[in-house]
């Protein structure tokens, strides 16, 4: 009888832990992959945004509205309507697609757009699925976004068959453009700038669970991954910019701030060392996540321009 009681208690404990792990997995899935939700744990709360940041955002949005020429649309393979702002440059065939990060929006990339416009580039500034004015409920961390960016590439080529295209992404946008390079893409894409991208979604989630909540990957990350695979057919381990760059034939410039704790600085070396393409890198000292271009703008854009000039005359 005693043995049966012990066995029953063990079974109950296992069931409770199993249920709790799935509850935790559902919570993690909802709090991380719904960028428009106010409950998203990575989304800045209104009270945490400084007046200086608010003023900067107002300037960026104002510049965007004053300078964009039109809004483009595409329909995705899963019937989402995605939108991108278009800025016409002075050079007929030079193009750049600037790709924003997680919980961000396209016009947050306006400083980059302004820089490229000053050099004659036409700029396409998409809102990724689940962000901004594009449709979608979930962020896919570069997984489906890379497919969407390839569609935007073909939209450019339709309008300009002689287009020479640069991809420039920050954070999740960097992961997205890296994943594009792992695909069979048109020769019109001449090079890629990735700024503070991660090696894989699994690794960056695992890192931030430990950093923010002192939690191990097991069991919550594992159950969140099962839920993600079931609900949106996205396996965290398959969202791997590292795997993509190891197959890339497109030149890549890797950029990272050495004080980045959200996407750890060590990921720069892992990505760079494993990239199979022509490549270069830039480290911005004292820069935190996503702030490399603001920390040292002259150094940043000089390196970017020098790299691009090797591939676009």
Do 261 and 279 share a domain, yes or no? yes
Read off the pLDDT band of 47 (50, 70, 90): low
pLDDT of residue 89: 98
R_g over Cα of the chain: 21
Helices vs. strands in the chain: H and E counts, helices first: 11, 8
User: What confidence tens digit (pLDDT) does each residue in 195-230 have?
Assistant: 999 999 999 999 999 999 999 999 999 999 999 999
Do 129 and 139 share a domain, yes or no? yes
pLDDT over threshold 60, residue 136: yes
Do 245 and 124 share a domain, yes or no? yes
Six-digit token string for 271 = 């990505």
Q: Of the candidates 238, 264, 294, which is a domain's last residue?
A: 238
Do 122 and 245 share a domain, yes or no? yes
Is 45 inside any structural domain? no
Task: Write down the mean pLDDT value for the chain.
Answer: 93
**Domain range holding 225?**
1-32+201-238
pLDDT of residue 37: 76
Do 76 and 209 share a domain, yes or no? no
Overall domain count for the chain: 2
Q: Of the candidates 238, 257, 291, which is a domain's last residue?
A: 238
Is 40 inside any structural domain? no
Read off the pLDDT band of 174 (50, 70, 90): very high
Read off the pLDDT band of 45 (50, 70, 90): low
Do 178 and 287 share a domain, yes or no? yes
For residues 57 and 274, which has the higher predicted lDDT (pLDDT)? Answer: 274
pLDDT of residue 265: 98
- Cβ partners under 8 Å of residue 264, min gap 6: 207
Is 44 inside any structural domain? no
Is 159 inside any structural domain? yes
**pLDDT > 70 in the chain, percent:** 90
Is 38 inside any structural domain? no
- CA–CA separation, 231 vs 263, rounded Å? 25
Do 271 and 219 share a domain, yes or no? no
For residues 231 and 7, which has the higher predicted lDDT (pLDDT)? Answer: 231
Q: Of the candidates 209, 238, 267, which is a domain's last residue?
A: 238
pLDDT over threshold 70, residue 295: yes
For the domain that residue 299 is a member of, what is the CATH number? 3.40.50.1820
Do 113 and 252 share a domain, yes or no? yes
Do 124 and 176 share a domain, yes or no? yes
Alpha helix segments (H runs only) across 246-296? 266-274, 292-295
User: What confidence tens digit (pLDDT) does each residue in 264-292 have?
Assistant: 999 999 999 999 999 999 999 999 999 99
Mean pLDDT of the 136-163 span: 98
* 98 DSSP assignment: E
Do 89 and 105 share a domain, yes or no? yes
Do 297 and 172 share a domain, yes or no? yes
User: What confidence tens digit (pLDDT) does each residue in 240-260 have?
Assistant: 999 999 999 999 999 999 999
């Amino acid at each position: 009888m005693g043995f049966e009681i012990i066995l029953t208690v063990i079974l109950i404990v296992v069931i409770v832990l199993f249920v709790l792990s799935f509850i935790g997995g559902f919570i993690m899935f909802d709090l991380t992959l719904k960028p428009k939700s106010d409950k998203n744990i990575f989304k800045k709360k209104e009270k945490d945004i400084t007046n200086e940041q608010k003023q900067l955002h107002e300037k960026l949005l104002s510049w965007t509205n004053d300078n964009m020429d039109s809004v483009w649309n595409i329909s995705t393979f899963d019937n989402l309507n995605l939108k991108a702002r278009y800025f016409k440059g002075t050079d007929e065939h030079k193009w750049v697609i600037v790709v924003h990060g997680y919980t961000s929006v396209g016009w947050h990339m306006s400083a980059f757009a302004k820089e490229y416009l000053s050099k004659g580039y036409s700029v396409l500034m998409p809102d990724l699925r689940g962000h901004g004015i594009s449709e979608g409920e979930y962020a896919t961390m570069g997984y489906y976004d890379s497919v969407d960016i390839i569609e935007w590439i073909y939209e450019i080529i339709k309008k300009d068959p002689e287009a020479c295209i640069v991809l420039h992404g920050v954070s999740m946008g960097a992961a997205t453009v890296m994943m594009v390079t792992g695909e069979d893409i048109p020769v019109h894409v001449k090079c890629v700038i990735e700024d503070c991208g991660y090696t894989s979604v699994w690794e960056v989630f695992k890192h931030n669970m430990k950093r923010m909540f002192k939690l191990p990957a097991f069991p919550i990350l594992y159950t969140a991954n099962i839920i993600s695979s079931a609900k949106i057919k996205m396996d965290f381990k398959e969202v791997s910019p590292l795997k993509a760059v190891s197959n890339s034939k497109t030149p890549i410039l890797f950029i990272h701030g050495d004080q980045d704790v959200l996407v750890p600085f060590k990921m720069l070396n892992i990505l760079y060392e494993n990239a199979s393409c022509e490549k270069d890198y830039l480290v911005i000292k004292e820069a935190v996540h996503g702030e490399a271009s603001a920390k040292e703008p002259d150094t940043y854009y000089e390196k970017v321009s020098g790299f691009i000039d090797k591939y676009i005359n």
